[in-house]
A and B are shown apart, each in its own frame.
Chain A
Amino acid sequence: MLAFILRRLLQSIAVLLTVGLVAFSLFRYVGDPINAMVGQDTPAQEREALREKLGLNDSPPVQFVRFIANAAQGKFGLSYRTSEPVGSMIVERMPATLELSFCAALFALLVGVPMGVYTGLYPNHWSSRLFQAVSLIGISLPTFLIGILLILVFAVWLHWLPSFGRGETVQIGWWTTNFLTVKGLQALILPSITLGLFQLTLLMRLVRSEMLEVMRTDYIKFARARGLSNRAVNFGHALKNTLVPVITVTGLQLGALIAFAIVTETVFAWPGVGQLFIQSVQFSDIPVMAAYLMLIGLLFVLINLTVDLLYFAVDPRLRAQGTARAAGH
């Protein structure tokens, strides 16, 4: 078990270093950050001097090593766009993104899994067919369109919910939260639905097909033969055995939720890290882009690790076979 985790951690570091190196070799194609930093009439020599001072003339690997060396000391530099420290910019915006992703994931799980179970148990019922049809919308409509439609209906026509932003937030230490005010909670609803709809559809379809699969197996038939209640069979035996793939997908999708929050954040002017990243790309703000990409890389690595560990908890066979099997992963 310990060897497994260590091996995984080593792999993770290699993944992160690769992500960083690729990112740094791509930065030169997003445009010249100097243009965004200085006035139009700044002479060429001054531009060149600034470029030299910021180390933009060095090769990507050199820039990357310098970035890593500084990052290891907790220094991420100043943003080229706002001249604020990058570390605190990301930390300030992180709660917004995490809360949004969390709510979207919760929404997807709480609605998607029951819907999946239901459509799996009663595949031919008319309401299952309705769910299936509706879920097609979730999978086929692009996120920004769903967002705009929701804004149009619930903010412009019905005036029930705010059209953009985080509403009111409460500061707890360095964390700002939406959960403690009515306006904050209201502001969470539309973006969470927008962000979670795709995952909901995915989960529902996954649980449904797994359920259909499991319900055909012998042990379910035996369980029924033993006279167990429907509830015990459906949830105790069937659902539990569909969970391994569901956990994998949910875990990976949580990473996707945080990473793809970019579109939702842009549509709802949600002040999270995704929006920060988009603004930074427009200004070729290398320090922010580098820190963001490394952070997202780290997040995916951690989520993958957690998912692997969860397998041990859920699947008794893995526990029984121990590290030998895990090493072959």
Chain B
Amino acid sequence: MYFNLRHTVALTALVCASAAFAPMANAKTFKWANSGDVSSMDPYARQETFLLTFTANIYDPLVRRNKELKLEPALATKWGQTSPTSWFFDLREGVKFSDGTPFTADDVIFSINRANGPGSNVNGNFSSMKEIKKINDHRVEVTTSVPDPLLADKWASISIMSKAWAEKNNAVQPADMIKNEENFATRNAMGTGPFMLKERRAGEKTILVANPTWWDKPEHNLTEVIFTPVPNAATRIAALKAGDIDMTYEVPPADTDNLKKDANIKVLEGPETRIVFLGFDQERDELVESNVKGKNPFKDKKVREAIHRSIDVDAIKRTVMRGQSFPTNLMVAPGINGYTKELDKRPALLKPEEAKKMLADAGYPNGFEVGMDCPNDRYVNDEKICQAVVSMLAKIGVKVNLRAQTRNLYFAKILRSTADGKPSNTSFYMLGWSPATTYDVHNVFEQIIQTPDVKAKKGLYNAGGYSSKKFDELSNAVEVETDKAKRDAMIREATKIYVDDFAYVPLHQQALVWASRKNIDLVQPADNSFPLRYVNIK
């Protein structure tokens, strides 16, 4: 015991001595935390918002999204289409990578081919691309196999890497799972972006420092950024209150009220681009889980309307969501290209008698019984929302048997098979969707609303099999229409079809809830990305 005590004293002396050499903390160090770590520093390792937007602090894309998610020039100063199937990008001159090498068209060609090549998981963005050519050091041209009006939107999430750096470090392809060797780009990063990677300890912390030679005028005032994954939500909140971190996102709804009372903390709430909605099985002739035999009540538009107009989304906002939701009548959110404001009006709520009468007219005077599938760990308060829906529909005589389960089991049940397109086994379900790859309504049209067709890769997430021929035609036309005015008119027409058909019951956009210390200024984009280039410490 005494022996140990003596050791402790000696150790303490040693510690004090070494503390004198510890680097002084800089005044503009920004510390933040999230539940999970960035899985890789390689910007093509995964099509995942967190990874793409984190690496975008180090790498720049050709065109980037601003605070309102609109495209603005980054490494390309001008871009556009010269014909329906060809695009050009004029590159910014005088840009240098943070290691001092100049940025040219070769880097763009290299990056696009790397992102579209083996080992990459972002190659979904290049399905339309036929060829990319260098015209000169500061201009590239892309030809597509079909007209693709969304090419620049998709490429806004593609970071541009340095050809020389990747070749020098043997990282010309993203990591190959089969080989037993580490890929340099998994832990290292070097781009033209606002920050540089200083230290990467996977699972522990990632340190960025401001890039002094960034081509753009910084809107941030940070010198250093320390990111730490903190898996436990309660610990994150405690760390924020203790001042150990300056900012965290993914704040649990239950903690927001408590945080708002703390004078040192700022809670930021904004709408997320994800829409949470309810869907019906409109495909089978008889529902899998219902007491109605021989016919499918959801094939009748009147039934869908009665249900749609009996669900009080404002009440859900008030009670279940504690004000943290933004009710909607559309399947896309403001900020997404193709959002049609004038159609975003929910029809008036029905009184229970009116809804019952509507059901009676459709042939269900005593209502009916149906099973419902809902996740309990995927969206904010998902299970509670479903419970609220159950009680609202009980008032009009529709008895809903709710099955809320964990996301793995839930998705396995409600999604249709990607192999043969067989319909799923759900009758009535909740789902959330955000067109995070293109920020365009067509993604929602194609994946959620078009008639399912595995070969054409349409309607893969249309679990209930809603089908409208006119809508399909419009959606396919929107996909290749490059004239903006014509495209917008078709989007409007298609939107009106699914709204009038009560194809789905859109509920709301859930709120993004972030929290920071009072002295932090930041921007909260609706796509749940967190650009460090807008952060200021006062």
Contact = CB atoms under 8 A, between A and B. Distances in A.
A24 B177 CA distance: 19
B239 interface: yes
Interface stretch (B70-78, B103-111, B181-189): B181-189
B418 A82 contact: no
B242 A53 contact: no
Contact of B15 (A53, A96, A180, A269): A180
Interface of A: 31, 37-44, 50, 53-54, 70, 75, 77-78, 80-85, 88-89, 92-93, 96, 110, 144, 147-148, 151-152, 155-156, 159, 162-166, 168, 170, 179-183, 185, 266-269, 271, 275-276, 278-279
Contact of A84 (B4, B182, B238, B244): B182
B164 interface: no
Interface of B: 1, 4, 11, 14-16, 18-19, 22, 33, 36-37, 39-40, 42, 45-47, 121-124, 174-175, 177-183, 186-187, 201-205, 228-232, 234-235, 238-239, 241-244, 408, 418-419, 457, 460
B418 A155 contact: no
Contacts of B1: 110
Contacts, number: 144
B229 A75 contact: no
Contacts of A163: 235, 238-239, 242, 244
B223 to A, nearest CB: 18
Contact of B244 (A42, A85, A164): A164
Nearest to A287: B177
B231 A278 contact: yes
B39 A81 contact: yes
Nearest to B16: A182
B419 to A, nearest CB: 5
Nearest to B408: A31
Which of A83, A155, A156, A180 has the most chain B CB atoms inside 10 A of its CB?
A83
A162 B47 contact: no
A79 to B, nearest CB: 9
B22 A82 contact: no
Contacts of B418: 43-44
A38 B121 contact: yes
Contacts of A179: 11
Nearest to B19: A182
Contact of A185 (B15, B39, B46): B15
Contacts of A182: 15-16, 19
Contacts of A159: 242-243
Contact of A148 (B40, B186, B203, B235): B235
A163 B242 CA distance: 7
Contact of A181 (B19, B37, B123): B19
A89 B202 contact: yes
The winner among B22, B174, B203, B244 for most chain A CB atoms within 10 A is B203
Given A155-B239, A163-B244, A275-B231, 20 more contacts: A31-B408, A37-B121, A37-B177, A39-B122, A41-B460, A53-B178, A75-B180, A83-B174, A84-B187, A85-B180, A93-B203, A96-B204, A144-B232, A162-B244, A165-B244, A168-B22, A170-B18, A180-B15, A269-B228, A269-B235
